[in-house]
Structure 1
Amino acid sequence: MAAPLLKSLAESLGSPEPAVRLIFSLLIGYPFALVYRKFFFYQSATVIHLFHALSGLALAAFNFGSQIYHSAVCVLVQFLMLRLMGRTVTTVLSSFIFQMVYLLAGYYCTATEEYDIKWTMPHCVLTLKLIGLSLDFYDGGQEPVSSFRAQQKNAVLSSVPSLLEVYGFSYFYGGFLVGPQFTLHSYKKLVAGELTDCHGKPPNSAIPAMKRFSLGFLCLVIYAVFSPYYQDSYYLTDEFEAHPLWYRLVFILLWAKVSLYKYVTCWLIAEGVCILAGLGYNGIVDGKPQWNACANMKMWLFETTPLFEGTIASFNINTNEWASRNVFKRLRFLGNKMVSHMLTLLFLTIWHGLHSGYVMCFSMEFLIVMVEKQTLTLVRDSPLLSKLANSAFYPLIYVVQQFIHWLFMGYSLVPFCLLTYDKWLKVYRSVYFSGHIFFIVALFSIPYLRKVLVPKRERSPLKQD
């Protein structure tokens, strides 16, 4: 009965059925969270783990049918690694290799030239969870724990988790399909009833959860209204190439803004589920409970920042924090932040998939961020540019900066969404590789601009963070 209804709904909305199933599954998380609060909050840990595992498995089966065995097998293998190998480097390496190879094999076997919603979508989220689990378990055996960074210290595991505990953590309905990332340590606090602003009672989180849901629903409406006018496929038409260059560039800018709302929608709705269940609780600050522990978006920053780094900091926050904690900061033994940054982006590139579009997207991100950092340093060190940036002309500068920001954000996003070499190269040719030329010229121009605009006493070699 459900399948024909969903098919009819998808046809009426003009959306693929898997996308409708995904949104419907995210919304089901709210009733699941209410059931947990009403009937399971005071139950034993075993009962709660079982509820979370079965509810998540039900969502997985609803979306991917018998293919749920992929995630079930990987969770079981991860548990056996922890149980049999102990807190060793071998466990960490085995976990990393097995989970990443399994994910990449899944990408290879299911790959098409389109972005499809299939079992590999939640599996990439699960892969990070399970790799992070092995690292947190390993850290729990290191001494002294007091020397760990705050993020690392708050994630360490003091004992081997049970099989049911790992399944409950992996399939928790608030984070299984699209994230957010969270640690087993946080999940255990949820199960223990510690993530609440009312000691011993379910949290007063309904209103904060509805705020995030409402924001997510608004983004969904925006995407549903405007996405028909900004389809990925339009890039490959003769009509697109027939337009003048300025039109093509503006289309890229507007397309990027609209396209990103599909990700924003999913993350905000999922975050609302986590808040309602209590996983979003982040302590008390100035007498007010904070519900941002699972925040994957900073919407105000996302909409107002004129900086590429600002957008990165506001977007997919938990995944970025996972990469920072488990990849970037663990590479500090290399003694070079730029190399660590490059390797972290390389990992994220491979984690996203095997298409060349991911490589192009993240390489452009690296180039843009590097140029932006050097430009900000130049503005800070130059009296003339600093004065201009703080003058009455700043509103005009802000508008120009936002245009450049979103134009080249969209430019970088083109290969991420079009995936294959022949498609994104066609688009880049149509705009004469303007993004590459702009930032490569800027990269080589900044040292000369420093000689002209920065007094000698203020000059210093550019540092790469």
Structure 2
Amino acid sequence: MASAAEGDVGTRTELSGVLLSAFEELSLNKLATSLGASEQALRLIISIFLGYPLALFYRHYLFYKDSYLIHLFHTFTGLSIAYFNFGNQLYHSLLCVLLQFLILRLMGRTVTAVLTTFCFQMAYLLAGYYYTATGNYDIKWTMPHCVLTLKLIGLAVDYFDGGKDQNSLSSEQQRYAIRGVPSLLEVAGFSYFYGAFLVGPQFSMNHYMKLVQGQLTDIPGKIPNSTVPALKRLSLGLVYLVGYTLLSPHITEDYLLTEDYENRPFWLRCMYMLVWGKFVLYKYVTCWLVTEGVCILTGLGFNGFEEKGQAKWDACANMKVWLFETTPRFTGTIASFNINTNAWVARYFFKRLKFLGNKELSQGLSLLFLALWHGLHSGYLVCFQMEFLIVIVERQAANLIRESPVLSTLASIAVLQPMYYLVQQTIHWLFMGYSMTAFCLFTWDKWLKVASAELVQKRLSPSSQHSRAPAPGQRSRRLEDMALAAVPLPPKSSSGAKGETLVGGAEGPVASQGSPLHVALSPL
């Protein structure tokens, strides 16, 4: 009787587990469908916002606790987030973390260890891109893995620097050099920290260890007073999310591929490209502001004090929002966007190429590395190549104005400053739009189609040529049509367009461009 009862209980327990799992899947599917997004996108958004309750738990129950408990908490929560989003494919990150730990222990603080780390981690990431990438944003294991790749390469370099004579290192290298020998649990906690596992930001092993040791607080011996700064970044991220949600049905990259866009007047295509080029970046801004809030809440965002004694919480800031919104120069946008990734490339790649003796070559190789790190699509190479050329032209134009007495005098006229600013912003975001076209459309056939629309004038049939000269009675109607055309339009029916998911469209249902969940999270 006892065995029969136990078997009955076991059957009921198993059945309850199956029903609970089915209920969860059904709920996620229904909710994702109602929001016009894929289930993968919904899981990703839930995981990002889940960082806030996890950070609160850490603040109240684990701050100043034993280090191994904190590492275990970060490892367990990060792995849970990975499994929730990617299932058994979390083994990719586990494998790379474990092998990286073995490389550090077996090869030590050597150049061989650094080169092995760089080659293995980048090769693994590129192989993942090759086998999983599609023509859309992909919600695959490669999305957080690109963030992990930079973390592990930076870890190897800092560990190598830790074995050098301190006097031979720059002040920056001394700050990040790892003197001790990280344990497997420390490497895992650093790699899977829930506030940055999916989309960043980047931070060093030393900074992470300061968090674990309770040093990242503005009140020594107490929990950091970071709730208000964290909520400010979260609120700002939600503002961008709402703005993106309201405008996304009217400003889409899909429209760039339609015949309706090709048939618009040149000035209207430029206007649309200008608006779209600024707007398309809002999805990245939203993502980074929300995750920055999580890092601030845990204390990871603590960055010392200002001269007046006020605490700074920008250690994990990936955006300088005011600079991003107001700068009229391309270099200003670069300085305000994806800050931590750019700082990582400068610290671990660009400055390490100093032996080449050529700054432009080092910059070009750094941008090539960034392009490959994003993926294997040709659009990434074109985007960063255009960025490189535009920055060079912008600097030469600034030097020309500075060295010319006439141009300098004209540029200093206060009354004309608003007009200069408007012209600069127009040129700035127009070229940004064309750079982002290749970045967002990925494949050469798509971005080349948009580029050719500006270079090739379509031949008009006799009937269309006749229609170019409207009768006097039709003129008011044509002017009205042009006024309506000035408003960015959603794409009309495109040939076999499937739409886009949040970060990947190869699997699952199509995500609506107007969905609040349509926030592309692939790192820029």
- State TM-score, norm by structure 1: 0.91
User: Which residue, 251, 272, 276 being the options, matches 1:251?
Assistant: 272
How far apart are 1:14 and its partner, in Å? Answer: 2.2
Matched with 2:296 is 275
Structure 2 runs not aligned, ≥5 long: 1-22, 458-524
> Is residue 45–residue 192 contact of structure 1 (8 Å, CA) maintained in 2?
yes
> Is residue 23–residue 266 contact of structure 1 (8 Å, CA) maintained in 2?
no
- Indicate yes or no: 2:192 matched with 1:171: yes
Matched with 1:402 is 425
- Output one character per residue of 1:43-67: Cα deviation in whole Å (capped at 9) or x when no partner: 1000000000111111111111111
How far apart are 1:433 and its partner, in Å? Answer: 8.6
Matched with 2:262 is 241
- Output one character per residue of 1:397-450: Cα deviation in whole Å (capped at 9) or x when no partner: 10011011001101000010100010000000012299xxxxxxxxxxxxxxxx
Q: Which moved more, 1:57-66 or 1:290-299?
A: 57-66
User: Which residue, 81, 102, 111 being the options, matches 1:80?
Assistant: 102
In 1: Cα distance, 2:283 partner to 2:30 partner: 21
Matched with 2:229 is 208
In 2: Cα distance, 1:10 partner to 1:250 partner: 33
- Output one character per residue of 1:235-254: Cα deviation in whole Å (capped at 9) or x when no partner: 21111112111121111111
Matched with 1:341 is 363
In 1: Cα distance, 2:294 partner to 2:77 partner: 13
Matched with 1:98 is 120
Q: Which moved more, 1:149-158 or 1:99-108?
A: 149-158
Q: Considering only CA atoms, is the larger Rg found in Structure 1 or Structure 2?
A: 2
Matched with 2:305 is 284
In 1: Cα distance, 2:316 partner to 2:382 partner: 29
Matched with 2:183 is 162
> Is residue 140–residue 157 contact of structure 1 (8 Å, CA) maintained in 2?
yes
In 2: Cα distance, 1:2 partner to 1:216 partner: 28
> Is residue 222–residue 258 contact of structure 1 (8 Å, CA) maintained in 2?
no
Distance 1:232 1:37, change over 3 A: same
> Is residue 278–residue 432 contact of structure 2 (8 Å, CA) maintained in 1?
no
- Output one character per residue of 1:246-290: Cα deviation in whole Å (capped at 9) or x when no partner: 121111111122211111111000000000000000011121000
- Indicate yes or no: 2:240 matched with 1:226: no
> Is residue 205–residue 275 contact of structure 1 (8 Å, CA) maintained in 2?
yes
Q: Which moved more, 1:166-175 or 1:223-232?
A: 223-232
In 2: Cα distance, 1:20 partner to 1:415 partner: 26
In 2: Cα distance, 1:374 partner to 1:328 partner: 22
Amino acid at match of 1:235: L
How far apart are 1:23 and its partner, in Å? Answer: 1.9
How far apart are 1:159 and its partner, in Å? Answer: 1.7
Q: Which moved more, 1:158-167 or 1:376-385?
A: 376-385
Matched with 1:53 is 75
In 2: Cα distance, 1:423 partner to 1:239 partner: 15
In 2: Cα distance, 1:217 partner to 1:76 partner: 37
Matched with 1:419 is 442
> Is residue 388–residue 394 contact of structure 1 (8 Å, CA) maintained in 2?
no
User: Which residue, 308, 315, 320 being the options, matches 2:342?
Assistant: 320
In 1: Cα distance, 2:402 partner to 2:387 partner: 22
In 2: Cα distance, 1:160 partner to 1:66 partner: 30
> Is residue 320–residue 337 contact of structure 2 (8 Å, CA) maintained in 1?
yes
> Is residue 205–residue 278 contact of structure 1 (8 Å, CA) maintained in 2?
yes
Distance 1:221 1:433, change over 3 A: farther
Q: Which runs of 4+ in 1 moved over 4 A?
A: none
How far apart are 1:148 and its partner, in Å? Answer: 2.7
> Is residue 216–residue 264 contact of structure 1 (8 Å, CA) maintained in 2?
yes
In 2: Cα distance, 1:294 partner to 1:193 partner: 17
Matched with 2:27 is 5
How far apart are 1:147 and its partner, in Å? Answer: 4.2
Q: Which moved more, 1:87-96 or 1:249-258?
A: 249-258
Matched with 1:393 is 416
Matched with 2:214 is 193
> Is residue 40–residue 48 contact of structure 1 (8 Å, CA) maintained in 2?
yes
Amino acid at match of 2:429: W
- Indicate yes or no: 2:179 matched with 1:142: no
- State TM-score, norm by structure 2: 0.81
Aligned length: 433
In 1: Cα distance, 2:433 partner to 2:41 partner: 22
Amino acid at match of 2:270: L
Q: CA RMSD in A?
A: 1.3
Distance 1:150 1:18, change over 3 A: farther
Matched with 1:432 is 455
Q: Which moved more, 1:69-78 or 1:221-230?
A: 221-230
The structure where helix makes up a greater share of residues is: 1
Amino acid at match of 1:26: I
Structure 2 residue matching 1:229: 3-state secondary structure = coil
Choose between structure 1 and 2 for higher RCO, CA contacts under 8 A separated by at least 6 residues: 2
In 1: Cα distance, 2:282 partner to 2:75 partner: 29
Structure 1 residue matching 2:455: 3-state secondary structure = coil
How far apart are 1:24 and its partner, in Å? Answer: 1.6
- Indicate yes or no: 2:155 matched with 1:133: yes
Distance 1:335 1:210, change over 3 A: same
Distance 1:382 1:133, change over 3 A: same
> Is residue 88–residue 138 contact of structure 1 (8 Å, CA) maintained in 2?
yes
- Output one character per residue of 1:350-395: Cα deviation in whole Å (capped at 9) or x when no partner: 1111000001001000000000111111111112222222211011
Structure 2 residue matching 1:202: 3-state secondary structure = coil
> Is residue 113–residue 419 contact of structure 1 (8 Å, CA) maintained in 2?
yes
In 2: Cα distance, 1:268 partner to 1:132 partner: 23
Structure 1 residue matching 2:332: 3-state secondary structure = helix
- Indicate yes or no: 2:48 matched with 1:33: no
Amino-acid identity (%): 61
How far apart are 1:42 and its partner, in Å? Answer: 2.4
In 2: Cα distance, 1:294 partner to 1:376 partner: 32
Matched with 2:516 is none
